[in-house]
Amino acid sequence: MMPLIALRGVTKSFGDGEAQFLALKGVDFDIAAGDFVAVMGPSGSGKSTTMNILGCLDVPSSGQFMFKGHEVSTLSRDQRALLRRRYLGFVFQGYNLLARTSAVENVELPLIYRGDVREQRRKLAMAALEKVGLTAWADHTPAELSGGQQQRVAIARAIVTSPELLLADEPTGNLDTERSVEIMELLAGLNRTAGITVLMVTHEPEMAAFAHRIIHFRDGLVERMEQTARALGQPGAPNEKVP
């Protein structure tokens, strides 16, 4: 079966001449539709650069990035933006919510960019908030929400367009342990029940344990890959709740 994502010999360099820095040195991996993958590695290992390429925010210097069998590197900037809008959702460590805008209006933003009419936007946004358990907080601004609730709004915003791939960059980085586990249970539940493919960068092994696989980066290369206890059905694996 064709993978959702395939990277083949991907490199990425910054700068020229003696100042050139090779951030990725030939990265290869596949991600199947419906997978849940955690990406780990020390600072400067290439995690963020890889995420920027997968999010169509940057292109490789060489190598292939295939999405659903199509070579993304050959697309124009506008075509990559269209791919992002139709197929990708993003969750960030810092939530990135509009401060003076209600939760439901924050969730509606991707639908505004997509051109949906107001009635349809509100219907889809409320459905997304229901999936993350926040319908009762739809009219509240971010200042009236806890950190965990704000991240739930951010996840609702990311899934409101029904993306095939959810890219999460340190989604629990600003949360305490209890709230972090709640967010990971939510992401794992969305992966399992809605079939959304999740690719998550994290520094926390406890959060990576919610994934099916962990890809370890070091010095611009994939150092190793491993299946988690959850994927293997072993005792001690985290059990996600259905959102």
Residue count of the chain, please give it. Answer: 243
Domain hosting residue 194, numbered range? 5-232
Examine residue 55 and state whether it is found in any structural domain, yes or no.
Answer: yes
User: Angle, nearest 10°, between helix axes 177-194 and 147-159?
Assistant: 20
Examine residue 173 and state whether it is found in any structural domain, yes or no.
Answer: yes
202-224 pLDDT tens trace = 999 999 999 999 999 999 999 99
What is the pairing mode between strands 221-227 and 36-40? unpaired
CA 103, 39, 61, 83 dihedral sign is negative
**Which of 56-65, 140-149, 181-190, 225-234 has the lowest average pLDDT?**
225-234
A 10 A CB-CB count for 164 gives 18
Examine residue 54 and state whether it is found in any structural domain, yes or no.
Answer: yes
Cα–Cα distance for residue pair 220/190, rounded to 1 Å: 30
Examine residue 24 and state whether it is found in any structural domain, yes or no.
Answer: yes
Examine residue 124 and state whether it is found in any structural domain, yes or no.
Answer: yes
Q: Give the range with max mean pLDDT: 33-42, 86-95, 234-243.
A: 33-42
CATH number at 113 reads 3.40.50.300
Q: What's the pLDDT score for residue 231?
A: 79
Cα–Cα distance for residue pair 204/38, rounded to 1 Å: 10
Q: Which of 52, 21, 35 is nearest to 198 (CA)?
A: 35
Examine residue 23 and state whether it is found in any structural domain, yes or no.
Answer: yes
Examine residue 243 and state whether it is found in any structural domain, yes or no.
Answer: no
Q: What's the pLDDT score for residue 18?
A: 80
- DSSP class of 97: -
Q: Please check the confidence at residue 242 and state whether its pLDDT lies above 70.
A: no
In DSSP terms, which residues pair with 70 in a beta bridge? Answer: 67
Give the number of domains in the chain: 1
pLDDT band at 140 (very low <50, low <70, confident <90, very high): very high
Examine residue 238 and state whether it is found in any structural domain, yes or no.
Answer: no
